[in-house]
């Protein structure tokens, strides 16, 4: 087969043959005419890069001879192509490696076993540059990416706490939960990992605290660091910043109110908090996809963001919750924030629905009016309890 002059070259530096073969298959699936080269040690990588730099280098941290991190440092110091796309892979996310890698700006930091959908998406982003592909219409782009959405953007405050953790790891699960509990993305992904097949036990995890207890401090922190390092985890397109802030505050307010009510109504407060925090995950994931659209060269206006949220957010949320295999009970509780369906409701479902109403409640309307709401009546809510509810700025 004659390789086109425009066909990209991908160099895979992986000591394990089966992993190398998997990566090669994924590359060829994404780009059928790609020229794929495989080496087993770091010295071979250096020789090939000096002779003929590839369009993409995928290297494992634990390569014999010269490790992946050192290769990344070497590549970034080269005059010819300091910005060479570089995927750094590892069996786990190590805090020391993360700290060193951040300064060297890898295109992606991937842990094994790979998420094939996520890896394929990243490969497309890099390899689509030869030749350039026209950007599809925004509606088509959003439809095409719904099943591969990476999730919500990183919450800035939590990212700061994670950076602090790089220097001094938390000493107990309570401290780690306190650092992470405000972030919908980290909460959802840690619950999903804790409920993965290899860790599945008699009952699924439905809260961050349960997930952290199952995963342990070190593994939980490593996973969180890896998620924070993902490319595209931060929003910088101006039309997205205000909607993201509103959605985050809405999620946190719903979670806080649900937790507060559940504590006083003898319901599961942690499950209520988790469901409240995650009920806008689809909206946030859509914003991250819109950021990817902008990064690929798309132009975005504020009215397009609003229209996209109305048309696609629910689909993104449903796809994420299903793909990440969040427990059915938790997904049902999240759904209660939007509506009460059927004739029998758990206390937690009623609380979630009421908390979502309160999060949207106008400042100039007394909360007593909520006593006539179906959920409030079924909970037999008293006016005195609503009067004690901590107030917050209206978020929507």
In a shared domain, residues 127 and 173: no
In a shared domain, residues 103 and 162: no
Average pLDDT per block of 10 residues along the chain, 396 residues long? 54 90 84 83 87 90 91 81 84 77 85 83 80 74 86 80 66 84 92 76 88 88 72 82 94 96 96 97 95 86 97 95 91 94 89 96 85 93 90 54
Structure-token pair, residue 11: 């160099």
Structure-token pair, residue 94: 């190590």
In a shared domain, residues 14 and 127: yes
Q: Could you tell me if residue 254 is inside a domain? A: yes
Query: Which of 176, 206, 229 finishes a domain?
Result: 229
Q: Could you tell me if residue 143 is inside a domain? A: no
11: enclosing H helix or E strand: strand 9-13
In a shared domain, residues 19 and 49: yes
User: What pairing do the DSSP bridges indicate for beta strands 56-60 and 108-111?
Assistant: unpaired
Residue located via tokens 């992470």: 180
Q: Could you tell me if residue 141 is inside a domain? A: no
* Secondary-structure percent of the chain, ordered helix, strand, coil, rounded to 5: 60, 5, 35
Q: Interior CA angle at 394 toward 388 and 396, to 5°?
A: 135
In a shared domain, residues 245 and 212: no
pLDDT of residue 170: 58
In a shared domain, residues 160 and 250: no
Q: Interior CA angle at 373 toward 368 and 377, to 5°?
A: 90
State the pTM of this model. Answer: 0.71
Structure-token pair, residue 224: 């969180």
13: enclosing H helix or E strand: strand 9-13
In a shared domain, residues 258 and 381: yes
**Structural contact between residues 302 and 295, judged by C-beta atoms closer than 8 angstroms:** no
The count of structural domains within the chain is: 3
The span from the CA of 94 to the CA of 96, in Å, is 5
In a shared domain, residues 208 and 118: no
Q: Which residues touch 58 (CB under 8 Å, ≥6 apart)? A: 10, 11, 12, 13, 14, 23, 86, 87, 89
Query: Which of 229, 259, 290 finishes a domain?
Result: 229
Q: Could you tell me if residue 316 is inside a domain? A: yes
In a shared domain, residues 314 and 363: yes
Range(s) of the domain holding residue 212: 156-229
Q: What is the CATH number of the domain that holds 22?
A: 3.40.50.2300
CA distances for 351 relative to 12, 286, 343, 395, angstroms: 51, 26, 16, 19
Q: What is the CATH number of the domain that holds 267?
A: 1.10.3210.10
Q: Could you tell me if residue 69 is inside a domain? A: yes
In a shared domain, residues 381 and 243: yes
Q: Could you tell me if residue 114 is inside a domain? A: yes
pLDDT of residue 80: 60
Closest CA to 57 of 91, 15, 12: 12
Q: Could you tell me if residue 310 is inside a domain? A: yes
In a shared domain, residues 247 and 288: yes
In a shared domain, residues 225 and 246: no
Q: Could you tell me if residue 147 is inside a domain? A: no
Query: Which of 210, 229, 248 finishes a domain?
Result: 229
Q: In the beta sheet, which residues pair with residue 56?
A: 10
The span from the CA of 144 to the CA of 200, in Å, is 31
């Amino acid at each position: 087969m004659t390789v086109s002059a425009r066909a990209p070259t991908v160099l895979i530096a992986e000591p394990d043959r089966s992993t190398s073969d998997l990566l090669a298959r994924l590359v060829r699936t994404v780009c059928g005419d790609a020229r794929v080269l495989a080496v087993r040690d770091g010295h071979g990588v250096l020789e090939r890069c000096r002779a003929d730099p590839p369009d993409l280098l995928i290297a494992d941290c634990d390569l014999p001879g010269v490790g992946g991190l050192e290769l990344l440092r070497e590549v970034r110091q080269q005059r010819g192509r300091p910005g060479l796309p570089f995927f750094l892979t590892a069996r786990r996310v190590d805090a020391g490696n993360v700290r060193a890698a951040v300064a060297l700006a890898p295109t992606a930091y991937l842990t094994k076993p790979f998420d094939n959908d996520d890896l394929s998406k990243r490969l497309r982003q890099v390899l689509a540059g030869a030749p350039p592909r026209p950007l599809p219409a925004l509606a088509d782009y959003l439809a095409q990416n719904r099943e591969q959405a990476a999730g919500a953007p990183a919450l800035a405050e939590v990212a700061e706490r994670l950076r602090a953790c790089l220097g001094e790891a938390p000493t107990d699960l309570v401290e780690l939960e306190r650092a992470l509990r405000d972030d919908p993305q980290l909460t959802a992904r840690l619950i999903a990992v804790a409920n993965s097949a290899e860790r599945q036990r008699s009952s699924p995890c439905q809260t961050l605290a349960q997930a952290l207890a199952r995963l342990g401090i070190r593994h939980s922190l490593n996973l969180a660091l890896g998620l924070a390092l993902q490319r595209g985890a931060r929003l910088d397109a101006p039309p997205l910043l205000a909607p993201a802030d509103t959605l985050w505050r809405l999620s946190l307010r719903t979670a806080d109110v649900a937790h507060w009510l559940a504590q006083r109504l003898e319901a599961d407060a942690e499950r209520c908090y988790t469901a409240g925090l995650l009920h806008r995950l689809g909206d946030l994931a859509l914003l991250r996809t819109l950021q990817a659209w902008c990064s690929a060269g798309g132009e975005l206006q504020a009215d397009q963001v609003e229209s996209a949220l109305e048309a696609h957010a629910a689909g993104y949320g449903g796809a994420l919750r299903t793909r990440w295999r969040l427990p059915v009970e938790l997904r049902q509780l999240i759904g209660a924030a939007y509506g009460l369906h059927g004739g029998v409701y758990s206390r937690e479902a009623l609380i979630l629905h009421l908390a979502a109403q309160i999060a949207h409640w106008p400042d100039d309307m007394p909360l007593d009016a909520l006593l006539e709401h179906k959920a409030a009546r079924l909970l037999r809510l008293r006016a005195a309890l609503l009067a004690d509810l901590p107030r917050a700025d209206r978020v929507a």
